[in-house]
């Protein structure tokens, strides 16, 4: 065996050992029914146009408020709290993928809403400038 073949074999063996140890000592938790229900509820509320989405700038807590359904949700560091005038449920997500998908969807929808507001603001500014320009051009000049 030549030296490059030995080096290649060592890296392959180390990778196989890494994968074995990762699967053995860092198992993936199965998704619980509660996590499925919480995720489905949150996705439904996030996609609902009548839901008010807010994010805390310092704490990075995400808030979903839907007055029509009378539900308030707080998403904070893998913990999701679902509040209503009748009940309050707390759940800590064990599955990273479920939690991060929910946070990603929240951020995407909130960013889209922010972008539409921003576009509306800049569109109004452009229209206002056109009006000012036409007024300036059409106004009679003083001697």
Q: Is residue 100 part of a domain?
A: yes
Q: How far apart are CA 124 and CA 143, in angstroms?
A: 34
Per-residue pLDDT reduced to its tens digit, 94-105? 878 889 999 999
Whether the predicted model's global pTM rises above the 0.75 cut:
no
Per-residue pLDDT reduced to its tens digit, 18-31? 888 877 777 677 78
**Domain limits for position 52:** 28-131
Q: Is residue 57 part of a domain?
A: yes
Q: Is residue 18 part of a domain?
A: no
Sheet holding 88-92, edge to edge: 52-55, 62-66, 71-76, 79-83, 88-92
Quote the number of domains for the chain. 1
Q: Is residue 95 part of a domain?
A: yes
Q: Is residue 11 part of a domain?
A: no
CA of residue 35 relative to chain centroid, distance = 17
For residues 107-133, give the mean pLDDT. Answer: 83
Per-residue pLDDT reduced to its tens digit, 74-97? 999 889 999 998 999 999 988 788
Per-residue pLDDT reduced to its tens digit, 33-67? 888 999 999 999 999 999 999 999 999 999 999 99
Q: Is residue 141 part of a domain?
A: no
Q: Is residue 76 part of a domain?
A: yes
């Amino acid at each position: 065996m030549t030296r490059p073949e030995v080096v290649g074999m060592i890296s392959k063996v180390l990778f196989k050992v890494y994968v074995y140890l990762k699967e053995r000592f860092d198992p993936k938790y199965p998704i619980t029914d509660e996590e499925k229900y919480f995720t489905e509820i949150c996705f439904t509320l996030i996609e609902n146009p009548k839901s008010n989405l807010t994010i805390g700038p310092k704490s990075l807590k995400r808030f979903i408020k839907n007055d029509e359904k009378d539900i308030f949700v707080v998403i904070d560091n893998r913990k999701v709290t679902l509040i209503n005038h009748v009940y309050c449920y707390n759940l800590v997500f064990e599955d990273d993928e479920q939690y991060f998908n929910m946070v990603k969807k929240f951020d995407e929808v909130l960013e889209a809403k922010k972008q539409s507001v921003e576009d509306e603001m800049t569109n109004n500014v452009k229209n206002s400038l056109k009006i000012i320009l036409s007024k300036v051009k059409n106004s009679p000049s003083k001697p």
